[in-house]
Chains A and B, each alone.
Chain A
Amino acid sequence: GAGVSQSPSNKVTEKGKDVELRCDPISGHTALYWYRQSLGQGLEFLIYFQGNSAPDKSGLPSDRFSAERTGGSVSTLTIQRTQQEDSAVYLCASSLAGQGVAGELFFGEGSRLTVL
């Protein structure tokens, strides 16, 4: 498809389990972002990848959260030992590089995580 693709769209898991969320950005977009949105809240920045540069991990809330981006394309966000407070929608977005501060983010439809 032409847009940002995220999977799964919905994930229900038990507390303490690990989960992996996948993001496939728009082809050619070198910048990739992960955000978390709790119910009725704003977007909380988690991590940002730009090309081959070291990612900006400053938003990851704890060491249970990690993300990688393979081959400059697909990214996986992993949450280990999930807690109930991890329940949220996880949004992935991508954008073109080389546009300075311009260039909007294109968002996927999100992965809704529910931790029981």
Chain B
Amino acid sequence: AQKITQTQPGMFVQEKEAVTLDCTYDTSDPSYGLFWYKQPSSGEMIFLIYQGSYDQQNATEGRYSLNFQKARKSANLVISASQLGDSAMYFCAMREVSYGQNFVFGPGTRLSVLP
């Protein structure tokens, strides 16, 4: 079974609007971390935001916020005020303590920001 599911292969958003990228995960480990990475066409992997399973509040980093719904096992990334430079692949990832801290990535969502 897939540990990380990203159901949106591609998304379009108008510049300056907000967009939500979906991520659901599967784990029985009570302790885990959730991460979002951005990969522009240049290929580099850029860390965006982190959410711990025990964190009470949703994580925020500038224009990025993580909508963490633990009971539903979802960790959606919200990008506010989209910019043309946000066009990239976005990967959701999870690290579980009980799996030797292996980092598992989802298949990614390609976001295109339209002018």
Query: Chain A residues in contact with chain B, CB under 8 A?
Result: 31, 33, 35, 41-43, 45, 48, 50, 56, 89, 91, 93, 100-102, 104-107, 109-110
Contact = CB atoms under 8 A, between A and B. Distances in A.
Nearest to A43: B105
B43 A89 contact: yes
B38 to A, nearest CB: 11
B105 A104 contact: no
Nearest to B100: A56
B49 to A, nearest CB: 9
A101 B91 contact: no
Contacts of A42: 91, 105-108
Nearest to B49: A104
B74 to A, nearest CB: 17
| Overall SS of chain A's interface | strand
B52 to A, nearest CB: 6
Interface of B: 31-33, 35, 43-45, 47, 50, 52-53, 91, 93, 95-97, 100-108
Contacts of B97: 100-101
B45 A93 contact: yes
Contact of B47 (A35, A105, A110): A105
Given A42-B91, A45-B104, A101 B52 contact: yes
A93 B101 CA distance: 13
A101 B103 CA distance: 10
Given A42-B106, A105-B103, A110 B43 contact: yes
A107 B91 contact: no
Contact of B100 (A48, A91, A109): A48
Contact of A104 (B50, B91, B101): B50
Contacts of A41: 107-108
A93 B52 CA distance: 20
Contacts of B91: 42-43
24 contacts: A33-B103, A42-B91, A42-B107, A45-B103, A48-B102, A50-B101, A56-B100, A56-B102, A93-B45, A93-B103, A100-B31, A101-B31, A101-B53, A101-B97, A101-B101, A102-B33, A104-B50, A105-B45, A105-B93, A105-B103, A106-B47, A107-B44, A107-B45, A110-B43
